[in-house]
Amino acid sequence: MSVIPLAERMRPTTLDEYVGQTHILGEGSGLRKAINSGNIPSMIFWGPPGVGKTTLAQIIANTVDRPFHALSAINSGVKDIREIIEKVNAQGLFGQNNAILFIDEIHRFSKSQQDSLLGAVEKGIITLIGATTENPSFEVISALLSRCQVYTLQHHTKEELISLMERAITEDDILKKKKITLKETEALLKTSGGDARKLLNGLELVVSQMGGNEIEITNEFVKSILQENIAMYDKDGEQHYDIISAFIKSIRGSDPNAAVYWLARMIEGGEDPKFIARRLIILAAEDIGLANTNGLIIANAAFDAINKIGWPEGRIVLAQATIYLATSPKGNSAYKAIGKAQAVVKETGNLPVPLHLRNAPTKLMKDLGYGEEYKYSHEGANNFIAQEFMPEDIKGSSFYTSGSSQREKEIAQTIINLWGDKYST
């Protein structure tokens, strides 16, 4: 087998070869138009491993015909950034200005390292393309983030992954010499977790373990090969996602012992404690919510404490928050309510705000009746006056349904006491 991995050999070089991300690269999309025009902004690609962030950056550089410089935040620092900026700047009028600087895993750069990029980005010396698996709102400094467009890249679909494998066995110079049949693909797809790089390298590993030129790939054989050799191709952090998933599901399932075990696995594996703390905040809102509103307070306090005291003592804070949340009453009514409301907004569009709820800062607006029939709730008994707060087309719609916890039963009764059967459906 070639020393160059299959995923690298199959890396696309043009937008037409690129698979997936049609939501940002489809014909007529803003990014596609920018690339075709050659006038691209600085940008951040946010998405899980193996969805084509690095590849897309390289394709953009090729398409707009600009110099391309790449750094990895894991092993680069301010000195490396300055050397590239000075090199690009020195070219001046020779067309080398506005080169593309690609920084992989930009979330790993410190504030000072990110600060060193600002001047060159502002002056147009470089166009920055950053790639991150973490939410850039948390990990990229606001001054840099405000100068970049953020594009979210998504996991490949099953159909896209299968097409990648089919293309590999028919077009790769090595694999096409064999007669490879994809009889079953479920095991390869499951093992890849939506990661195209992992999928192709797993496919290559399986093929390399099978003798002869006629190869039939089955789920059973894939499992036997990849279970024995998973470390040979799983180099990009699948456990980062699998273990955080197990951690969250253990807390959601009210098992503090399992939750602390998975927490320990992450700590011993060198996981970023701020990543864990952020996930606890999300869980507190999504899975505990109104059943115990202190959950969000505890999770947020844990995040603040991690930033104040650091490591290794921060592990105690995470353990305390984890156990508290795991043993807390659970409820996802707020999570479900906002989901239902967003679905209605997407379906009904921009419904007009009722006149009595509109702001009336000018005389004309007052003359038009803005705010005229609004009733000030505090003037009613128990600070409540029944009136309509929904747009006319969806009045009476119920988005919030209380959960089964004691606290949410009390909330449900409060709503009934105030509104009667208006929101009973």
3-state secondary structure (DSSP) of residue 5: coil
Q: What is the pLDDT of residue 93?
A: 43
Amino acid in the structure at residue 281: I
Are 144 and 185 found together in one domain?
no
Q: Whose CA is closest to 148, among 127, 119, 123, 125? A: 127
Q: What is the pLDDT of residue 227?
A: 63
Q: What is the pLDDT of residue 45?
A: 94
Residue 118 lies in a domain: yes
Could you tell me how far CA 403 lies from the centroid of its own chain? 28
Are 272 and 389 found together in one domain?
no
Residue 60 lies in a domain: yes
Please report, in tens digits, the pLDDT of each residue of the chain (425 residues total): 447 888 889 898 888 888 889 899 888 888 998 998 888 899 999 988 888 899 999 999 989 888 889 998 888 888 888 888 888 877 764 444 488 999 998 988 888 889 888 888 888 888 999 999 888 887 888 889 989 999 999 888 889 999 999 999 998 888 888 898 888 888 888 877 778 888 888 888 888 887 778 888 888 888 887 765 443 333 344 566 778 888 999 999 998 998 999 999 888 877 888 889 999 999 999 999 999 999 999 999 999 999 898 888 999 999 999 999 999 999 999 998 998 898 988 888 888 888 888 887 777 777 777 778 888 888 888 888 888 888 888 888 888 888 888 888 888 888 888 888 888 75
Are 111 and 186 found together in one domain?
no
Instruction: Residue 216: count other Cβ atoms within 10 Å of its Cβ.
Output: 12
Q: What is the pLDDT of residue 96?
A: 42
Residue 338 lies in a domain: no
Are 141 and 65 found together in one domain?
yes
Are 189 and 260 found together in one domain?
no
Q: What is the pLDDT of residue 238?
A: 53
Are 96 and 136 found together in one domain?
yes
Amino acid in the structure at residue 364: L
Residue 3 lies in a domain: no
Residue 340 lies in a domain: no
Q: How far, in Å, CA of 379 to CA of 239, rounded?
A: 57
Q: What is the pLDDT of residue 236?
A: 42
Q: What is the pLDDT of residue 317?
A: 95
Residue 13 lies in a domain: no
Separation in Å, CA 152 to CA 35, 103, 128: 17, 16, 16
Q: What is the pLDDT of residue 382?
A: 84
Instruction: Residue 240: count other Cβ atoms within 10 Å of its Cβ.
Output: 17
Number of domains in the chain: 4
> Which of 97, 124, 152 is at the close of a domain?
152
Instruction: Residue 340: count other Cβ atoms within 10 Å of its Cβ.
Output: 14
Are 199 and 268 found together in one domain?
no
Q: What is the pLDDT of residue 1?
A: 44
Domain span at residue 178 reads: 158-233
